[in-house]
Amino acid sequence: MDNGESSYRRFLAGDDSGMFKLVRDFKDGLMLYLSSYTGDLSIAEDCVQDTFIKLAVKKPRFNGKSSFKTWLYTIGRNIAVDHKRRFFKHKKVSLDDCTTLSDESDLEQSYLVSEQKIALRHSLLRLKKEYQQVLHLSYFEEFSNSETAQIMGKTIKQVENLLYNARKALRAELEKEGFSYEKL
């Protein structure tokens, strides 16, 4: 699998079905990642739309230095960073509100089908934003540490440290809920 690169190349060559395939394959995962970055599902939706609009309108060149998915998530993160800069002084949503939104969301229900996964998601939402991001990218999206570092704008060592501390914090949150996981 080329991770979306061939679909993007087809789109650039004039085949609109390539863009439809990209949106279908990447929108849900990108939305969950950006939701963990922004802390707001509706802002994440806007950023995902802006990401695909940027691909469709500006048609940035994919140079192949990373996987296509890494490149796409980096574009999405940069759009979210720009959005946060522009709208920082505006509406702020508490973490409790985000938890309520995620419980009602069909998107997350498709990803989180069992009670343990829902409890895990709630525990993740109580972690620092940076911890949420690194765990989501590494475990849900299965990015390597170097790809995660590139997306987050950090060094590999910083990502390794973040992962260690994030797993430790997640374990503590899960233990508060009564869960015990050996593999964390």
- Higher per-residue confidence, 53 vs 104: 53
Which pTM does this prediction carry? 0.64
Q: What is the pLDDT of residues 50-98, one digit of tens each?
A: 999 999 999 999 988 899 999 999 999 999 999 888 876 555 555 555 5
pLDDT at position 115, please?
62
- Greatest Cα pair distance, the chain, in angstroms, is 54
* Structure tokens that stand for 92 in this block: 């702020």
Domain ranges of the chain: 5-176
pLDDT at position 108, please?
44
- 34 vs 73: CA distance, rounded Å: 9
In CATH, the number for domain 5-176 is 1.20.140.160
